[in-house]
Amino acid sequence: MQDKRFIIQAGESRVESDENIPAHEKRRLKIYADDDDVVVKVLGIPEADYECIMVNGSWPEKSLVEGDIVLCADGRIPQSGDIVLIEENGRVRLGILAEPGRLETKQGSRPIEPSERIIGVGVALARKLSGGEIDFNL
């Protein structure tokens, strides 16, 4: 299996993962992004703690590709259409908020189940485009 890497911070911090990742393995990493991090500089997101979640299956209608990294922040109120991080029975997954109290599915929207809890809101998306390692400075 081919190795993929995503550089979170200019220099050293990285998420390393296998090409095909089961939903329960190696998908989640907690990071602190400070003002030296590339995503903070380029996207203007706040310096804070984030959960990085790797997309483990493409979702073309939402422009998500397997291997994308979604940075999720807690303490935010999601808006309709936001990517959200959902926890259920100790496992996490990504979803789309259709409207308050409802999740978007391929069959339409459905109520958020009592066992589901939104624990984060997507604030940034990272996608590796090059097959090789990239080293650059801003």
Predicted TM-score of the model (pTM): 0.72
Q: For residue range 78-135, what is the model confidence (pLDDT) as tens digits?
A: 999 999 999 999 899 999 999 999 999 878 899 999 999 999 999 999 888 876 665 5
CA distance 122 to 16: 20
| Structure confidence at residue 17 as a pLDDT band (50, 70, 90) | very low
Helix (H), strand (E) at residue 108: strand 108-111
CATH of 3-126, one of 1.10.3210, 3.30.420, 1.10.10, 2.10.109: 2.10.109
CA-to-CA dists, residue 72 to 48, 50, 67, 90, 92, angstroms: 10, 5, 15, 17, 12
